[in-house]
Chain A
Amino acid sequence: MATAILVLAEQLRGEIADITFEMLGAGRKLASASGVPLYAALLGSEAAPLAARLGLADKVFVADQPQLNLAPAHTIAVALKAILDQAQVGLVLIGGTNGSIGIGSFLSAKTGLPLVNFGRAAKLEAGAVVVTSQLFGGKILSDVKLADGRGIVSIYPGAFPVEAGKSEGTPSVEKVDVAIEAPKVSFKQYLEPEKGDVDITKQSVLVGVGRGMQTQDNVQLAEDLARILGGAVCASRPVIDQGWLPLSRQVGKSGMTVKPRVYLALGISGAPEHWEGMQNSQCIIAVNTDPKAPIFDGAHYGVVGDVLELLPILIDKVKARKG
């Protein structure tokens, strides 16, 4: 690999997103192993003042242009391509986040660089970069080889440690001014998170329910358990999409990130989108009928079984214990 590595830094409302540090840490390892520089790109006038936080990069390219704030994926890709051409970049790391979705595809179309999605590990192998991607909801992994280390990799949030991407150092900053066409997509306003009856980010016990609960009525069992444990019920995306629980109870990529003392994952398979939101819970207990469910790879305690059979018994035993 003879060309530089570039991380597209991501920020939301003036805060550098954790995924940026994850990518910087991963990018630094690859850059050091192959002896190439590590760059970061900060696009938009909202992002520009944050350059000093990206100390792990050798250089930060800053486009201090308001038109790049919350700009559509296509516009960001055009700006990135300008930086790629100028800085001789071969490998680009982009966050696999809702905010960055589509940027890699447009950049791939514009540059001809291949895009690897769902990346959760990357290593150098005889000049090539081998990216491990997580497919089918985490049930299958695939290794893709980027010959000459050239390509675009979308990184799963939570795949790399955040701390490894932080540095006290001061990066050198290069201002760039990219040509921007009038976009056909424009940001109007933020819609703030729905304030629910319960703030699930503040609970010490969460009973998380997934598709395995089968019906809306069965969610009541989880509510009963949550109540006697002094906690609250939250859910993975399919349950929210069915309208069984309000948006304010969603845990995962688009929803909340929670870190309770105990997280019970009931009938939740553990797809990466959900895992992203609850992986830092102190104790994770998973109950699922599928012994191969990815949730068991990360949980502390696992039960293979029918949650609907187990719940009434567990509720009675907790009641008995509490007296």
Chain B
Amino acid sequence: MNLYVLLKMVPDTVEELNVATDGKSLDSEFLRFKLDDPDEHALEQALLLKEKHGGKVTVVALDAPEVDEVLFTALAKGADRAVKILVNQSGLGTVAAARVLADYFASASDKITSDTLVLPGSQAIDDLEGELAPSLAAALNLPFVGVVSGVTLAKEQAVVTKEFAGGLRGEFEVALPAVLGIQSAEKPPRYVPVAKVRAVMKSAKIETVDHTPPDRLIRLELDRMYKPEAAGRAQMLEGAPEGIADKLVEVLANNSVI
């Protein structure tokens, strides 16, 4: 199997996000980046498939802050190759990103083969122009299924589990090659010790690929970005934990649950 995992860096929402003075982007000064959660699962799913069916896992990312560490971590977890496309991810919309990646898959060394499976995360928290997986599938003219939480391989097809709502899921057969938007892997993403990542940083290399930046970064006309006004619906309970607990007991009693 020829497994490609597409990794995207996103701002860590645990930190406070602020809008830059242009009013149309995030203030990057205190921004910390992390791998988007579903991408973490896409990597795990690829590693599980490799363990079961053999093959090669290649992780691919566009250039972004802290991306090298994420690529080395993927290698430490068991990916065979890490590729960084030298196009700055910042400000790049989904459609342009899909175009860059489609060009990458047109190159001689990374052509889509009959046993290729491309695994982006199902959705990223900044996918304003839509998700990467279907945009890339459209650009590569490949079949696509999104919100996937399980993949098994059989001959020239993948059998995938797609989530609907209310716990209901569906099983689909997908002809290979294909693009699958991974929501969650069959197992929690594996842990890799920092020492191992450090060792990989010394012994392994990240391959880099040059690419001309797209003419148009984003197709949408972005008017402004802003923080939601606090709707202020929540009545905040303040004080020491003892006092707060007393107030909560009152709330629970008032709602007749104790």
Contact = CB atoms under 8 A, between A and B. Distances in A.
Contacts of B195: none
B220 interface: yes
A285 B28 CA distance: 33
Contacts, number: 271
B17 A105 contact: no
Interface in A143-197: 143-147, 154, 183-194
Contacts of B232: 297
Interface residues of A, number: 99
Interface string A113-147: 01111100000000000100111111111111111
B36 to A, nearest CB: 11
B257 A314 contact: no
B150 to A, nearest CB: 9
A313 B239 CA distance: 14
A48 interface: no
B219 A72 contact: no
- Which of B163, B164, B241 gathers the greatest number of chain A CB atoms within 10 Å? B164
A91 interface: no
B144 A73 contact: yes
B233 interface: yes
A249 to B, nearest CB: 10
A137 B13 contact: yes
A247 B144 CA distance: 24
Given A229-B258, A262-B257, A321-B253, A189 B128 contact: no
B59 interface: no
Contact of B128 (A102, A135, A241, A301): A135
A270 B61 CA distance: 28
Given A74-B138, A109-B138, A101 B131 contact: yes
B39 interface: no
Contacts of A116: 128-129, 220
Given A101-B147, A241-B41, A296-B234, A191 B135 contact: no
B162 interface: yes
A202 to B, nearest CB: 13
Contact of B255 (A70, A99, A261): A261
Nearest to A98: B147
B123 interface: yes
Which of under 10, 10 to 19, 20 to 34, or 35 or more describes the interface residues of B? 35 or more
Interface centre among B134, B184, B252 (most CB of A within 10 A): B134
A258 B182 CA distance: 25
A292 B174 CA distance: 42
A12 B257 contact: no
A108 interface: yes
A133 B220 CA distance: 12
A204 B244 CA distance: 22
Given A254-B165, A303-B237, A102 B13 contact: no
Most buried by A among B127, B174, B248: B248
Ranked 4 nearest A-B pairs via Cβ: A193-B167, A102-B134, A302-B234, A105-B134
16 contacts: A97-B165, A101-B122, A101-B131, A105-B134, A105-B135, A136-B13, A136-B125, A190-B170, A191-B168, A204-B257, A238-B37, A254-B164, A254-B183, A297-B231, A303-B248, A314-B245
Interface of A: 12, 17, 70, 72-74, 97-99, 101-106, 108-110, 114-118, 130, 133-147, 154, 183-194, 204-205, 229-231, 237-238, 241-243, 247-248, 250, 253-257, 261-262, 269, 282-283, 285-286, 290, 292, 294, 296-305, 309-310, 313-314, 316-318, 321-322
